[in-house]
Structure 1
Amino acid sequence: MAAVAWCACGSAQSLKTGDKVPDFTLPDQNGQPFALHDYIGKKYLVIYFYPKDESPVCTKEACSFRDNYDAFTKKGAMVIGINGGSVSSHHAFQQNHQLPFILLSDSANKVLKLFGVKGSFGLTGRETFVVDLGGKIVYTFSSMLKGTKHEEEALAHIPGNP
């Protein structure tokens, strides 16, 4: 199991509604590069940062996104999970819980810092960003302990029928 990366992200300002989402490329759970710019304009994006694969709250959060994944796809949205875990940890997490969405490895916490996600309780932060077709952030939600609320809040802020 991968270690949790501590994030002292206080130096970066947290992104907020109306900000343009920063572009980045990270390896996915299969080690393949995922470039955000390839998806801007094609789908709404739900980008969620979470502290650790297989931890109780993170697992509930991921499974909540999994259980409602069809509602996201029907609205034309793509779900992307990001944390500092390794590619192999993400692959095992995805397989173990049959997660149908992409998990990205941000081992140096560079993207977490770009988004200004704050850490707490000695863990990296738990924050969700909804990005529209124009690449603008239309909603953010942050809660360390209410993991399943992230999916609910994100889905409610994507236009269209579920």
Structure 2
Amino acid sequence: MSLTSALVINAVVLAAVLGSDLGHRRFDSRSVRRSLIICAAVAAYFVRDFYTSGTGLVVQITGVAAGVLVGLLAVSLMKVTRHPDDTVHTYAGAAYATVWVGMSVLRSLISIGLTYWFGTAVGTWLVEQGAAPAQITGIITNFFVFMAVTAIITRSLAIRARAAALPATRAFTG
């Protein structure tokens, strides 16, 4: 993956998440579908190989684990409520945005570092761990994509779980 591609992933994920979550928002099946469409598009465009064993698999799992942690942290900073009409609404403010901006900046800095400062050292380490030299770019790409996609999916699932735990509202019959 090129540095430009990595920065594009970061920008798309950040814009999609902040654009759909910041402020007071209704959460419904469209919200989940939109997230899944973004994830599918990013994965389809950037993931060329899926590693089912060895170092590639370990790195992919690490990306998934990091994404789960980021998604859960972000959702913990979001308010989820059920309105009298039984719709679920979320509120995300500055703390929520800070998590996503922080993740995006960190991924961007790592991508820049891999391109200009420590890419050879990481590549050498991956080869020492059993990766073929031809796999290195794909393994690193998958780490970033899986982390971003998993963070978005975790966010959606966690909001849904929190909404399901809310008590149902009673209809006003005046």
TM-score norm. by structure 2 comes to 0.22
Structure possessing the higher radius of gyration over alpha carbons = 2
How does the TM-score come out when normalised to structure 1? Answer: 0.24
Structure of greater relative contact order (alpha carbons < 8 Å, 6+ residues apart): 2
More helix by share: 2
- Specify which structure has the higher proportion of strand: 1
